[in-house]
Structure 1
Amino acid sequence: MKVKVIGIPVHDQEKALKFYTEKLGFLKKIDIPLSEGNRWLTVVSKDEQDGAEILLEPSPNHFEPAKVYQKALFDAGIPYTQFNSEDVQQEYDRLSNLGVEFSMKPTEMGTVKIAVFNDTCGNNIQIVQML
């Protein structure tokens, strides 16, 4: 088996697309209109365009348990998912300069360095660097 698509719940797909492409640097991969104004909307890492896709999923808008779960994670400061980085400090500096808000600055924890930011779409996202 392989990981092909992983979903991240978002409040607004268009806002999420803008954040994930313009701030984080991902590339739009698939954008297929669905019912009720929703889309099958995925982005990929510019460094692994044939790698796993992130589905920017509007589930919190249509499924109350997903909304409750997402909010509970966010309010507790727990990251919804994590992305790897070769250099967390460099990524932190780059994203901070673009106005991305971090709840945790780069912090060494044993064999990793991590930072956590708000994706503006209802999620905390962690970036991690193996030391």
Structure 2
Amino acid sequence: MKIHLTSVSVDDQAKALRFYTEILGFVKKHDVPVGETDRWLTVVSPEEPGGTELLLEPAGHPAVKAYRDALTEDGIPLAQFAVADVHAEYERMRDLGVVFVQEPLEMGPVTTAVFDDTCGNLIQIATEPQ
């Protein structure tokens, strides 16, 4: 068994697609209309185009707002992405205007940082020891 798909709920799929591709560097994999306004919209890492897909899911379900608001209020990231160097990625993304709510923080062997994805979520990046 392996993880094939996971999702983040987003306020605006077009805005999320721009952020996740142009800022984070993911690549669009699927973009299929669902209903009148929504899409089955997934992105993948360019390093693993056949790997786990991230669904940029519309945040229309009534439970989403309360859940995301509670996580954000408590500073809890919705997802975590692995990066080779948190400090370098932090600088690169900050230079592109990304707002970080936690600057790089070393916690034992792991370094993390947390940013706002502009679509309603806090996302953590982490570098794990080699």
Superposition TM-score tier, normalisation by shorter sequence? over 0.9
Provide the residue aligned with 2:54 in structure 1. 54
Q: Which amino acid aligns with 2:95?
A: N
Count of paired positions = 129
TM-score (norm 1): 0.96
Distance 1:107 1:21 in 2: 25
- Structure 2 counterpart of 1:97: 95
Q: Quick one: distance in 2 between partners of 1:125 and 1:11?
A: 15
My pick for the range that moved more, 14-23 or 65-74, is 65-74
Q: Percent of counterpart pairs with the same letter?
A: 53
Q: Distance in 2 between matches of 1:74 and 1:29?
A: 28
1:16-95 aligned within 5 A:
16-58=16-58, 60-61=59-60, 63-95=61-93
Q: CA deviation at 1:25?
A: 0.5
List alignment gaps of at least 5 residues for structure 2. none
Q: Post-superposition shift, 1:36?
A: 2.7
Look up the SS of the partner of 2:114 in the other structure. strand
Tell me the amino acid that sits aligned with residue 26 of structure 1: F
Q: Deviations over 1:34-62 (max 9, x none)?
A: 1031000000011111110000000x22x
SS of the residue 2:126 aligns to? strand
Following TM superposition, the consecutive aligned residue runs of length 4 or more in structure 1 with deviations greater than 4 angstroms are none
Q: Give the CA deviation at 1:17.
A: 0.3
